[in-house]
């Protein structure tokens, strides 16, 4: 496995037999951090296309924290869930033509034959793939990153739930992750003071030097409460929470009256049994005294206005005010390594697998 930053356009590949496919199926329920042996890589011959079917080939595949969650993961013996950027190799569907690029919920599969009208997302809603416009100089991987689900999670979570007002102070945890790195930059673009917490000194350096964060701290080595006293002398108005748990307590205790908290993720507890979660001091007194509004959300509540977020983030990107950091893991066969690496924080920005 190796990592590199993706720039420029991905060119198509040669394939000896385009009806040969690989997929990862889930073999065992996760216990703690997922293991390679929880998955099985299977090769298969795809069926011929029926009317309405399309043959897709994965270009970039997404690994995201939500895939770890007990309540989301697929039944044992079935293909792992997830989005991919894919190219149309063959089509018997009027809405797709050979060479089109799409974002599709096809799971961890290298090639797929499917009728796009029948695709459902892991969250249970109909998810007919979008054909992507010409991305120009932007990597197609952005379609599963800054111009896709993570980008819209950041844009809508921050703007729809947190009422950001210029001059306010925003704290982001998981700040170097796919969503967090975008939230902080969008916050800066909206005139907020932005403080990020991440899990390594390299990430902290990147947040400050490349992504324009006002302050960034390594939560593994700093005192979170003391760091906030220095970085947020007027208190915290908005907290974009990607991690949950103890650090969230500390941050919420540093919030101002009528602060807003968007609960976007809880990665600190995803490896725990949901019936045996870690304990922390109860939150209600803090929520009460500071009259906080704390709201959990998934991106899919804004599907009806999806393109608002994509256009906004694209505009920022074109202006050079939103950098889409990516960690690219090369090779479909390395999906599991990429997934586990992302869960333990090896990635900076969006973790994608290049097939």
Kindly list the residues in this chain that would bind a second copy in the complex (CB under 8 A): 69, 71, 241, 244-245, 248, 263-266, 269, 274, 277-298, 301
Question: How far is 129 from 126, CA to CA, in rounded Å?
Answer: 9
When the beta carbons of 140 and 179 are compared against a second copy, the nearer one is 179
When the beta carbons of 160 and 205 are compared against a second copy, the nearer one is 160
Question: How far is 173 from 102, CA to CA, in rounded Å?
Answer: 31
Query: What minimum distance in Å lies between the beta carbon of 106 and a second copy?
Result: 24
Using alpha carbons, select from 338, 24, 326, 343 the residue that is nearest to residue 148. Answer: 326
Residue 330 in tokens: 């090369």
Query: What minimum distance in Å lies between the beta carbon of 33 and a second copy?
Result: 17
Query: What minimum distance in Å lies between the beta carbon of 295 and a second copy?
Result: 4
Question: How far is 80 from 84, CA to CA, in rounded Å?
Answer: 12
Contact yes or no for 350/324 (Cβ under 8 A)? yes
Query: What minimum distance in Å lies between the beta carbon of 45 and a second copy?
Result: 38
Contact yes or no for 306/283 (Cβ under 8 A)? no
Contact yes or no for 261/295 (Cβ under 8 A)? yes
* Locus of tokens 């120009």: 136
Query: What minimum distance in Å lies between the beta carbon of 225 and a second copy?
Result: 11
Tell me if residue 312 falls in helix, strand or coil: helix
When the beta carbons of 92 and 246 are compared against a second copy, the nearer one is 246
When the beta carbons of 25 and 72 are compared against a second copy, the nearer one is 72
Residue 185 in tokens: 């930059």
Query: What minimum distance in Å lies between the beta carbon of 344 and a second copy?
Result: 19
* Locus of tokens 């997934």: 339
Query: What minimum distance in Å lies between the beta carbon of 87 and a second copy?
Result: 34
When the beta carbons of 150 and 265 are compared against a second copy, the nearer one is 265
Sign of the dihedral through C-alpha 27, 31, 34, 37: negative
When the beta carbons of 81 and 314 are compared against a second copy, the nearer one is 81
Query: What minimum distance in Å lies between the beta carbon of 163 and a second copy?
Result: 13
When the beta carbons of 260 and 350 are compared against a second copy, the nearer one is 260
Query: What minimum distance in Å lies between the beta carbon of 158 and a second copy?
Result: 16
Residues 165, 168, 173, 176, Cα dihedral to 10°: 80
The CB density around residue 137, as the number of other CB atoms within 10 Å, is 8
When the beta carbons of 41 and 283 are compared against a second copy, the nearer one is 283
Question: How far is 73 from 67, CA to CA, in rounded Å?
Answer: 6
Residue 24 phi, psi dihedral angles, 5° rounding: -105, 125
When the beta carbons of 115 and 272 are compared against a second copy, the nearer one is 272
Residue 248 in tokens: 């969230």
User: What's the Cα-to-Cα distance from 60 to each of 13, 147, 211, 268, 309, rounded to whole Å?
Assistant: 13, 14, 24, 26, 21
């Amino acid at each position: 496995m190796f990592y590199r930053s993706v720039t420029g356009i991905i060119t198509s590949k040669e394939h000896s037999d385009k009806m040969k496919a690989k997929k990862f199926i889930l073999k065992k329920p996760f216990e703690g951090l997922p293991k390679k042996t929880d998955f099985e890589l299977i090769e298969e011959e795809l069926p011929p296309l029926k009317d309405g079917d399309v043959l897709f080939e994965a270009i970039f595949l997404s690994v995201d924290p939500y895939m770890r969650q007990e309540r989301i993961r697929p039944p044992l013996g079935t293909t792992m869930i997830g989005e991919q950027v894919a190219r149309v190799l063959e089509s018997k569907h009027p809405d797709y033509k050979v060479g089109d690029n799409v974002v599709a919920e096809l799971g961890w599969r290298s090639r797929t034959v499917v009728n796009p009208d029948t695709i459902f997302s892991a969250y249970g809603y109909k998810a007919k793939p979008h054909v992507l416009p010409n991305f120009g100089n932007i990597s197609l991987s952005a379609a599963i990153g800054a111009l896709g689900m993570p980008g819209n999670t950041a844009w809508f979570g921050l703007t729809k739930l947190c009422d950001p007002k210029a001059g306010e102070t925003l704290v982001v945890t998981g700040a170097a992750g796919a969503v967090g790195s975008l939230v902080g930059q969008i916050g800066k673009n909206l005139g907020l003071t932005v403080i990020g917490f991440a899990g390594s000194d390299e990430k902290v350096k990147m947040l400050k030097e490349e992504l324009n964060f006002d302050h960034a701290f390594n939560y593994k080595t700093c005192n979170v409460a003391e760091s906030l006293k220095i970085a947020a002398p007027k208190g915290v108005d908005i907290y974009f929470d990607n991690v949950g748990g103890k650090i969230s307590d500390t941050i919420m205790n540093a919030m101002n009256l009528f602060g807003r908290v968007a609960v976007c993720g809880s990665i600190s507890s995803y490896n725990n049994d949901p019936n045996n979660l870690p304990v922390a001091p109860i939150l209600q007194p803090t929520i009460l005294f500071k009259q906080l509004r704390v709201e959990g959300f998934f991106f899919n509540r804004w599907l009806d206005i999806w393109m608002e977020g994509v256009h906004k983030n694209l505009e920022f990107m074109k202006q050079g005010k939103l950098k889409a950091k990516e960690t690219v893991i090369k090779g479909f066969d390395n999906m599991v390594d990429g997934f586990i690496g992302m869960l333990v924080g090896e990635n900076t920005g969006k973790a994608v697998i290049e097939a």
